Structure 1
Amino acid sequence: MSWLTDPAVWTALLQIVAIDLLLGGDNAVVIALACRNLPREQRRKAILGGVAGAILLRVVLLFFAMQLLSLPYLKLAGALLLLWIGVKLLIREEDGHADIRGDVHLFNAIKTIIIADAVMSLDNVLAVAAAGAGNIYLVSFGVLISIPVIVLGSRLVLAAMERFPVVIQLGGALIGWIAGGMAVADPALAGYLPGSVAVQHYAASVVGAGLVLVVGQAWNRRLVARRL
């Protein structure tokens, strides 16, 4: 049990927790967006199920962090998937879904949370792995500590969405922003894009956020036109 008195262990643990908490804001937005159309009694189940699955998948990704992020086109593919998730989460539910069982919606919400968290975690697992110095047990413990904060954050965002619908649009834009920045960070694009890395990241993030909002609004207008 000498590790309990090892300052390096506690320093690494604090670094891991700090990284996860900083990323918890993005996770909370995704969780809230995915759960906003669920009945109130199912939201808690979706949040707990989605977070548990996302955390487990993130720990698994830590084993392959170095290999995953060095592969060309992986970030680009992840960014495209994240853009689709952002658009999908902005689409308003059509009326008349009484014939659809609630557990189907619950499963879809959990699946969306897990997929989105996995995509958004690709860039961050390296930081967590580096902070943990390769100790998977230490990393896993640090990630587990951050779960209550992520759950609490998602509930706060849900409450804000119910009171201020514009938060939904902002959440979708945030997902698009992350997707744009992830896309230009792909090793396959290195050397092909003009401007500095900072300019590339900012420009691509703006384009990603705008794309999600434009496509999401166009999709909603099309749904409204079909109902008329």
Structure 2
Amino acid sequence: MMDMVLDFGKIIIADLILSGDNALIIGMAAAGLAPELRKKAILYGMIIAAVLRIVFAVAATKLLGIPGILFVGSLLLFWVCWRLYQEIREGMDAQAEQSLLDANNPDAGYTGAPRRTLFAALISITIADVSMSLDNVLAVAAIADGNTEMLVFGLGLAIVLMAFAATLIMHLLTKFPWISWLGLIVLVYVAAEMMYRGFFDASTGLGPMLGLIDGWSLSKGH
């Protein structure tokens, strides 16, 4: 029971800090548009991010059971941790908060005649969202470890936070930077645990697959 509570806590923290990238990209793209196009850009951008998360979540549940994939996923998650570390040092949360405020303020950001189409902005958002949605789903799927309810909870929470509380979250992370550092520690722990299971697990580990070790049963038993 305690393990499940801790896992849900990890998912909440991961969703909170990984929502910053999406907020920054959507906010910047929208703020660069003429004011009359911004609300559509924010709405469609969030829909695109939500759809990508669902697609990647379905794929992740299938792929993480393939031998060796968990280890590769841990390397990707460590890369996410490194990128997040750089963003925290550069104050990316404050930039994301300001970009969203600009996008929702018709007198801020670009206020001239339309110089960029909504479609062009959405292309930029989609390209960036591919990487960011994958980051989020990878972290949540690693924590859930086959628990469908937990995966759905993490996916749903990420979408809700992004749709209804992005500016509030960015303000919270800007005001209390220790939350971002705590989130980074949690993600590093998740990546390390993922790498450990990805190498030593008897059924999906890279070590047993290559014949280096016999391996152990390391599933969380969800």
- Normalising by structure 2, what TM-score? 0.50
- Normalising by structure 1, what TM-score? 0.49
